[in-house]
Structure formats: C-alpha cells, structure tokens
Structure 1
Amino acid sequence: MPISRIAIGSPAEIGQADALKAGLAEFISVLIFVFAGEGSGMAFNKLTNDGSTTPAGLVAAALAHGFALFVAVSVGANISGGHVNPAVTFGAFVGGHITLARSFVYWVSQLLGSVVACLLLKFATGGLTTSAFSLSSGVTVWNAVVFEIVMTFGLVYTVYATAVDPKKGNIGIVAPLAIGFIVGANILAGGAFDGASMNPAVSFGPAVVSWSWDSHWVYWLGPFLGAGIAAVVYEVFFINPSTHEQLPTTDY
C-alpha cells in the first residue's frame, strides 16, 4: 500500500545541495508558469476591456496555461521532477516517491515562485494586480471543492501514468505535453465556475499580491484531496508493489 511507503525524512535533508537545487528548479518553473499563465489573463483584459471572463478569454487562459505548464515541467524534469504544483508534490509524497522533508522544500519554493511571478507582473504592468481566484455566481464552496478534487485527480493521475509509473516506457517522453493538455482541458471545463486552479501555488500568488482570501481554502483542500486519491488509486491498482522501487526526485 502506498501509505506504508510514506517517508518523513530528516531535517538535515532540507539543507542538502540536491534538495536546494531541486527547490530552486521548482521556484523557477513555477515562476515561468505563473508569469505566463496569469500574465495572459492580464493581457487579455487590457486588450478587451476586462473581457477575460468571455468564452474567448477562457480559451486563451487554457492555451496559455497548457503551453506554459508544458515548458515549466520540461525544464524542471531533470532536476526536481518538474512538479510545478504543491498538489503534485503531495501526490508523490503519498505514493512514497518523495520524503516529507524534501516536499517541504518544494512547497516553499513553489509558493515563493508564484508570489514573485505576481509581483513581477504587477511591476511590469505599471501596478496592475493579478486577480485572486474566486467562485462564480451560484457556485458554492463545496461545488468548487468537488471541481478541484476531480480536476486535480485527472492531473495527478496523468502525472502518475506518464511520468511516475516504472512501466511507462517511451510514453514518458510525452509526459510534459500530456500534463499541459490535461490542465488546459480542465480549465475549459472548470474555469467558468471556480477558475480551475488545480494548483495551490497558482492560487496563492494572486491572493498574496491582491490580498484577497475569500474561499482561498478551497484551492488547497480540493487539489490536495484529488492528488492524494489519484496517488492511492494508481499505486494500489496499477503499480505492482513487489517491483516498486523508490524513485529519485528527478523522476517524480
């Protein structure tokens, strides 16, 4: 069972050179992802007089986030595994592929990367701020939690199938593309309802810069639950425990 392989690690692990390098890689990857993804929404608003909530704005957001995530995962894959998402890191932790100590390094780096990206956007746009994630009219917090659970389940399940599974073979080559595609598709499905975060870091940066925390917990609870469920399902049903090996962090 995946739960039996969960490892806490030691505090000393946080200061190890490879952990710090992996943290720096996650910081840069998230910065790239959030700057491009959130920046595309700001650019669309500027060009259309706040039209980012239109169907065209939704498609633009899906494309920008899908493209940017493909790149962000690719550039971090050989160093940190290219998680680019605290929920993905949590899913890897639940499956026994990363220790809690190293996960902490990733989480801090991912959150800082998002905040810095949003601050850079604010400076570069002359003081415009990225909008915090929020629920659409008629959408309750529990509606949004379900959305985030299901969407993040799909994301982390894709990560496991294309990047984590030791039987993945050549399919691992397309892992960053598949991960970008599922995020883009999920934004098309859920963006009009709760913004389709699937990533606590993506929600955290705009919330800090705009200092808007309404229903922010939704964007942590849903993704972490979805990631944990996906990790357990894939590990239990599709990865043979007898042949399982602890994977290096560069392979999720």
Structure 2
Amino acid sequence: MPMNRIAVGTPGEASHPDVLKAGLAEFFSMIIFVFAGQGSGMAFSKITNDGSSSPSGLIAAALSHGFALMVAVSVGANISGGHVNPAVTFGAFVGGNITLLRAIIYWIGQLLGAVVACLLLSSATGGMETSAFALSSGVSVWNAVIFEIVMTFGLVYTVYATAVDPRKGNIGTIAPLAIGFIVAANILVGGAFDGASMNPAVCFGPAVVSWTWNHHWVYWIGPFIGAAIAAIIYDNIFMDENAHEQLPVTDF
C-alpha cells in the first residue's frame, strides 16, 4: 500500500540545497508553461477579436499547452522530476515517492511561478486580462469536478507509467511527450466545458492577477482527487513492491 510509504520528511529537508533547487526548478518550469499556455489564449483572443472560445481557439489552446508542457517537464526533469503541477506532486506524495515537506516546497514554487507568469503577461500585453478559468453555460460545478477528476486521473496515471515506475526503461525518454499529449487531448475533450485545467496552479495564477475566484475550488478538489486515485491504483496494482524507489529521507 502506498499509504504505508507516505512520509512527512525530516526537519532539515525543507532547507536542503537540493530541495530548494528543485522548488526553484518548478518555479521556472511553471513560468515557461503558464506564460506560453495562458499567453497563447490571450494572443488568439487579440487576433480574432475574442474568438478564443471557437473550435480553432480550443485547438490552439490544446496545442500550446501540450507543447509548452513537454518543454516545461523536460527542463525540470533532471532537477525536480518535472512535476509542473501541484496535482502531480500530490499524486507523487500519495504514492510515497516524495515527502510532504518536499511537496510543500514544490507547491510554493509552482504557485508563485504561475502568478509571476500571469503578471509578466499582463505587463507585456499592456494590461490585457489574464482570464480566470470558468465553467461554461449549462455546466454545473459537479459536472466540472467529474471532468477534472477523470482528466487528472489520466494525466497522473500517464506520469506514473512513463516517469515514476522504475521499470519504465526506455519509455522514460518519451515521458514529456506522453504527458504533453494527454494534456492536449484532455483540453480537446474538456476545454469547452470547464477549461480543462488538471492543474491548480494554472488556475491560481490567473485567479490572483484578475482576482476572480468563482468556482475556484473546483480546480483544486477535482485534480487532487483524480491524482490520488491514479497514484493509489497504479502503485497498488501495477508497481512492483520490490522495485519501488525508496524516499531519500536519510539524505537530509
């Protein structure tokens, strides 16, 4: 059971140079991801006179987020594991692959990175609005929660299969590609309903800058539940107990 491996971490871990570097890597990866993803939506709105909700706008959002995430995961992989998502970090914690203290450092870096990216976009575009995520007409909060659970489950399950599982072998080299593809595909599915977040930080940045918090909790609860389910299922059913990489708690 992954629950048996959940660890808080040692007191010195939060200030360990490697952990702080990992948090900083998550910060910069999130800036790269949100600046490109959110920025593409703003650019599309500008050149189409606010046609970002059109089919072509949805395709553009899927491609920009997918490509940007491939890069953001790749550049952070060797330092932090390239989570670029608080829900992915939570899934790694639930599966016993990261301590709580390290997860908190990651979350701080991820959330700050998203806010900074949105502030940079607002400044660079002369004050254009960084639109917060919102539910489409006719979509209830519980519809959106289900969408976020299922989509984030697919994302975190992909992360476990291609990046976390020690048996991944050569498939680990395409992990960023697979992760980017599943996010792009999910945006094509859920983008027209609730924006297809799968990532609380991606919602947090625009919400802070625009100070719009309508149904914001949906984009935390759904992804965290989906991530936990994926971690528990993959770790319990498909991960070899003997092959599980132990947490490096003794390093701190």
Q: Distance in 2 between matches of 1:69 and 1:244?
A: 26
Partner of 1:115: 115
Asked if structure 1 preserves the Cα contact closer than 8 Å seen for 2:165 and 2:244, the reply is: no
Could you tell me how far 1:10 is from its partner in structure 2?
2.5
What TM-score do you get using the length of structure 1 for normalisation? 0.97
Partner of 1:26: 26
Partner of 1:57: 57
Q: Distance in 1 between matches of 2:21 and 2:240?
A: 31
Return the letter of the residue paired with 1:54.
S
1:64 match: secondary structure: helix
2:167 match: secondary structure: coil
Equivalent positions of 1:99-110 (< 5 A) are 99-110=99-110
1:51 match: secondary structure: coil
Partner of 1:69: 69
Equivalent positions of 1:135-174 (< 5 A) are 135-174=135-174
Could you tell me how far 1:247 is from its partner in structure 2?
5.6
Partner of 1:211: 211
Q: Distance in 1 between matches of 2:11 and 2:35?
A: 31
Return the letter of the residue paired with 2:192.
A
Partner of 1:132: 132
Return the letter of the residue paired with 1:37.
G
1:43 match: secondary structure: helix
Could you tell me how far 1:188 is from its partner in structure 2?
0.2
Could you tell me how far 1:246 is from its partner in structure 2?
1.5
Could you tell me how far 1:235 is from its partner in structure 2?
0.3
**Count of residue pairs brought into register by the alignment:** 249
Partner of 1:15: 15
Partner of 1:91: 91
Q: Distance in 1 between matches of 2:99 and 2:214?
A: 31
Equivalent positions of 1:194-209 (< 5 A) are 194-209=194-209
Asked if structure 2 preserves the Cα contact closer than 8 Å seen for 1:118 and 1:129, the reply is: no
Partner of 2:222: 222
2:131 match: secondary structure: coil
Say if 1:176 and 1:247 are closer, same or farther in 2 by CA, change over 3 A. farther
Could you tell me how far 1:121 is from its partner in structure 2?
0.1
Say if 1:185 and 1:247 are closer, same or farther in 2 by CA, change over 3 A. farther
Asked if structure 2 preserves the Cα contact closer than 8 Å seen for 1:152 and 1:226, the reply is: yes
Q: Distance in 2 between matches of 1:244 and 1:199?
A: 26
Say if 1:248 and 1:46 are closer, same or farther in 2 by CA, change over 3 A. farther
Asked if structure 1 preserves the Cα contact closer than 8 Å seen for 2:99 and 2:247, the reply is: no
Asked if structure 1 preserves the Cα contact closer than 8 Å seen for 2:63 and 2:184, the reply is: yes
Asked if structure 1 preserves the Cα contact closer than 8 Å seen for 2:34 and 2:202, the reply is: yes
The range that moved more, 61-70 or 9-18, is 9-18
| Unmatched runs of 5 consecutive residues or more in structure 2 | none
Could you tell me how far 1:244 is from its partner in structure 2?
1.8
Q: Distance in 1 between matches of 2:55 and 2:232?
A: 35
Q: Distance in 2 between matches of 1:245 and 1:131?
A: 40
Q: Percent identity among equivalent residues?
A: 76
Consecutive aligned runs of 4 or more in structure 1 exceeding 2 Å deviation: none
Q: Distance in 1 between matches of 2:141 and 2:11?
A: 36
Question: Pairwise CA RMSD of aligned residues?
Answer: 1.0
Return the letter of the residue paired with 1:220.
W
| Unmatched runs of 5 consecutive residues or more in structure 1 | none
2:135 match: secondary structure: coil
Give per-residue Cα distances to partners, 1:36-94, cap 9 Å, x unaligned. Answer: 00000000000000000000000000000000000000000000000000000000000
Could you tell me how far 1:248 is from its partner in structure 2?
6.3
Q: Distance in 2 between matches of 1:248 and 1:133?
A: 37
